């Protein structure tokens, strides 16, 4: 039982790592939906491979799938080049056709024998430990670990060896072409790796969830860093983390392991979307509010400084007067004053505000860098 669990988690982690290695480039090159199309379209290829090999032969599956992927990419591009069909429509026509062909073959020739349609969608990772690799009668352990381990190594080599080319072709295809790297060649190489990875991951997580493992961790990483190397490293870590977390969830609820793993990746993405230090929605909202309050406090102290030591100082420093003078809502004014008090910029005595030394210092600095302080500044703040 424990070995089975270990094999399942390790399989999931290897799928996640292999997919995430390529995913960063897919996200950056806006090829997420093309990858989705490929992962669907390999189905008839795999089935045809199994058909000719008369059984679930791995190599035949690989060959068929690679062929199907090549056909898909070529047909999508040919359709786009006719200018009769929009780019996204071309994808939306080709992959359902291929997938329909695949499910037709599965129901007609393989019903419940080597493949069934549900496994096509979300895989059979639960049985990873029982599908062992036997060569010349020697038991080499679970086949999925060998296949996916090899896939990880191949993808890692691809990314490491061609890192410079991939990076250049992704961020500046024009320059890449000018320097003599063919962006088209790199494009097709990447597509080939995607299809090979999709086949390798097929038995474990099915054709539809592969794309979650490819794109979602990479998109999560894209929200967390600006550095490509770091992005790939984060994507792989997020993928492996989701695989482990997803298994626990699936174990508790007795649900699909591959589905739970992909869902965990989605939760990671949601967290990054909300709380990423640089790009998170909540973080950005908070930063905006902080900037607005800082500006308001500067306005407040500059206003007080301007009216220090003048005849009507008493009146200008009244809390109630501030709201109308700086055109602040009463609630907002109270919040700003509260913050300024806590920052020890002003002191409040009997409804009158007085600058502290720190407040006067800030006001002088702010007045030196800003023009006439007015409420317009607030409106103009980012």
Partner 1 sequence: MGGLIELFTDYTLRNVALGSALLGVVSGVLGCFAVLRRQGLLGDALAHAALPGICLAYLLTASKTPVVLLLGAAVAGWLATLLILQIVKHTRISEDGALGIVLSTFFAFGIVLLTFITKRSDAHQSGLDKFLFGQAATLVEEHVITMAALGGAALGMVALLYKEFKLLAFDAPFAASLGFDTNVLSVLLTSLIVIAIVIGLQTVGVVLMAAMLIGPAVAARQWTDRLGVMIILAALFGAGAGVAGALISVSDKGIPTGPMIILSLTVIVLCSLFFAPARGLVWDALRRTRQRAALAK
**Which residues contribute to the site for partner 1 (CB under 8 A)?**
27, 30-33, 35-36, 40, 79, 82, 84-86, 88-89, 91-93, 95-97, 99-101, 103-104, 107-108, 111, 117-118, 121-122, 208-209, 211-212, 215-216, 219, 222-223, 249-250, 253-256, 258-263, 265-266, 269, 273, 279, 281, 284
What is d(CA 315, CA 21) in angstroms, rounded to the nearest whole number? 66
Q: Which residue in 216, 160, 170 sits closest to 15, CA to CA?
A: 216
Write down the least CB distance from residue 150 to partner 1, Å: 24
* Residue 42 beta carbon to partner 1: minimum distance, rounded to whole angstroms: 14
How far, in Å, CA of 176 to CA of 29, rounded?
A: 14
Min separation Cβ 378 and partner 1, Å: 23
Nearer to partner 1, 89 or 330 (CB): 89
123: left (phi over 0), alpha (psi -120 to 50) or beta: left
* Strands, E assignment, the chain: 132-135, 138-142, 346-349, 352-355
CB of 107 vs partner 1, minimal distance in Å: 5
Nearer to partner 1, 262 or 336 (CB): 262
Angle CA 118–124–126, to nearest 5:
135
Our CB check for partner 1 shows the closer of 221 and 355 to be 221
Whichever of 37 and 305 has its CB closer to partner 1, that residue is 37
**What are the φ and ψ backbone dihedral angles of 141, each rounded to 5 degrees?**
90, 180
Count of Cβ atoms closer than 10 Å to residue 102 Cβ: 24
For the bound state, the minimum distance from the C-beta of residue 152 to partner 1, rounded and expressed in Å, comes to 20
> What three-state secondary structure class fits 212?
helix
Of the two residues 196 and 265, which places its CB atom closer to partner 1 in the complex? Answer: 265
């Amino acid at each position: 039982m424990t070995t089975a669990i270990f094999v399942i988690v390790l399989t999931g982690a290897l799928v996640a790592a292999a997919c995430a290695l390529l995913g960063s480039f897919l996200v950056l090159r806006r090829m997420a939906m093309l990858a989705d199309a490929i992962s669907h379209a390999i189905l008839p290829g795999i089935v045809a491979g199994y058909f000719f090999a008369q059984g679930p032969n791995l190599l035949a599956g690989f060959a068929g799938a690679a062929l199907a992927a090549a056909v898909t990419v070529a047909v999508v591009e040919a359709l786009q080049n006719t200018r009769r069909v929009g780019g996204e429509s071309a994808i939306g026509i080709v992959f359902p056709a291929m997938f329909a062909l695949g499910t037709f073959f599965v129901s007609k020739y393989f019903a419940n024998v080597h493949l069934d349609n549900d496994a096509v969608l979300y895989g059979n990772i639960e049985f990873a430990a029982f599908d062992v690799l036997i060569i010349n009668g020697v038991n080499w352990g679970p086949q999925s670990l060998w296949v996916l381990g090899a896939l990880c190594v191949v993808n890692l080599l691809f990314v490491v060896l061609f890192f410079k080319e991939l990076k250049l072709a992704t961020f500046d295809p024009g320059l890449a072409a000018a320097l003599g790297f063919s962006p088209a060649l790199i494009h097709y190489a990447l597509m080939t790796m995607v299809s090979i990875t999709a086949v390798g991951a097929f038995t474990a997580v099915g054709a539809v969830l592969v794309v979650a493992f490819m794109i979602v961790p990479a998109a999560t990483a894209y929200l967390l860093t600006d550095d490509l190397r770091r992005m790939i490293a984060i994507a792989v870590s997020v993928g492996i983390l989701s695989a482990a977390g997803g298994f626990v969830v699936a174990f508790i609820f007795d649900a699909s392991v591959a589905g739970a793993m992909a869902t965990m990746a989605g939760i990671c993405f949601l967290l990054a979307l909300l709380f990423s230090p640089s790009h998170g929605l909540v973080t950005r909202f908070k930063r905006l509010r902080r900037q607005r309050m800082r500006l308001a406090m500067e306005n407040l102290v500059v206003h007080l400084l301007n009216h220090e030591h003048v005849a009507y100082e008493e009146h200008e420093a009244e809390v109630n007067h501030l709201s109308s003078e700086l055109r602040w809502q009463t609630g907002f004014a109270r919040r700003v004053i509260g913050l300024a008090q806590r920052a020890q910029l002003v002191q409040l005595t009997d409804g009158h505000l007085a600058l502290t030394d720190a407040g006067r210092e800030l006001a002088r600095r702010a007045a030196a860098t800003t023009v006439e302080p007015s409420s317009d500044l607030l409106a103009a703040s980012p």
